[in-house]
Chain A
Amino acid sequence: AQKVTQAQTEISVVEKEDVTLDCVYETRDTTYYLFWYKQPPSGELVFLIRRNSFDEQNEISGRYSWNFQKSTSSFNFTITASQVVDSAVYFCALTPYNFNKFYFGSGTKLNVKP
C-alpha cells in the first residue's frame, strides 16, 4: 500500500522566516519516485521537484531545499527566507517507479505574512 502523510495542515510564518514542510511516506516498493507540488490559489499544481528512491542526495534550488531520508521515509521541504509569493498549498506525492499514479498527501497550507 502506498500512503503519504503531511501532518501539518496549516503553517503561518512571517516573511523572511525559514519554514520546513514535513512529508512521511509508506510504500512496499523498493523503487519509487517522490514529488513536491505547489498549488497556488489559481488551482494549478506546479511541479517543484522529483526524487527517485536511489538518490538520497539533498537538493537545493535557490531558496528551496529538500531533505530525503530513506531510513525515516521522509522527504521534507524547506523554504529559506520565505516570501509572500510562497503562500500556497504544498503537496508531497509518491508514485511507483513504472507508473505515474500519484499518491498525494493531504497538503500543507503555507501562509506567509508580510
Chain B
Amino acid sequence: GAGVSQSPRYKVAKRGQDVALRCDPISGHVSLFWYQQALGQGPEFLTYFQNEAQLDKSGLPSDRFFAERPEGSVSTLKIQRTQQEDSAVYLCASSLAEGGAEAFFGQGTRLTVV
C-alpha cells in the first residue's frame, strides 16, 4: 500500500494477556518508529529501528515491551502480561532517512486492557 499500515486497528486484551501489534511501513523506508499515545496526550517515543537494527529502545516503559523488525521491513511490537496502564494508541511511523525527514504515521492500534 501507499501508506503505513497497522493491524489490528483495535485490540481489547484481558489483563495479563500478551498482545502483538503489527506495522507495515512504506516500502523502502529505512527508519521505523513506535510511539505510544495516551488519551489526550501527544505521542511519546518508544523505540527506533534503522533497517533491522534496533538503535534506540530508551522509551520502552518496561521489560514487558519488546519490538522487532527481523527483515528490515515489517515490525512487531509485543507487550507481555498487559496491564491497564498499557491502554493507549500505539502509532508506527516510517521515514526514508534517519534525521529531518518527513515521517509517515499509520492510523495506530488502539489497545484497551480490561
Contacts and interface: CB of A to CB of B under 8 A. Distances in A.
A93 B93 CA distance: 14
A6 B42 CA distance: 10
Interface in B68-114: 89, 91, 93, 95, 97-108, 110
A95 B100 contact: yes
Given A104-B42, A104-B43, A99 B89 contact: no
Interface stretch (A11-19, A44-52, A66-74, A76-84): A44-52
Given A43-B89, A44-B108, A45-B91, A100 B42 contact: no
Contact count band on B:
20 to 34
Contacts of A107: 40-42
B29 to A, nearest CB: 11
Nearest to A46: B105
A20 interface: no
A50 B102 CA distance: 7
Given A43-B108, A97-B100, 9 more contacts: A44-B105, A47-B103, A91-B43, A98-B98, A99-B48, A99-B99, A100-B33, A101-B48, A104-B42
20 contacts: A33-B99, A42-B107, A43-B89, A44-B108, A45-B105, A46-B105, A47-B103, A47-B104, A50-B100, A50-B102, A52-B100, A95-B99, A98-B100, A100-B97, A100-B98, A100-B101, A100-B103, A102-B35, A102-B103, A107-B40
Interface in B18-75: 31, 33, 35, 40-45, 48, 56
A4 to B, nearest CB: 8
Interface string A6-46: 10000000000000000000000000010001000011111
A11 B107 CA distance: 24
A43 B86 CA distance: 18
Given A43-B107, A101-B48, A91 B42 contact: yes
Given A50-B100, A50-B102, A95-B99, A101 B45 contact: yes
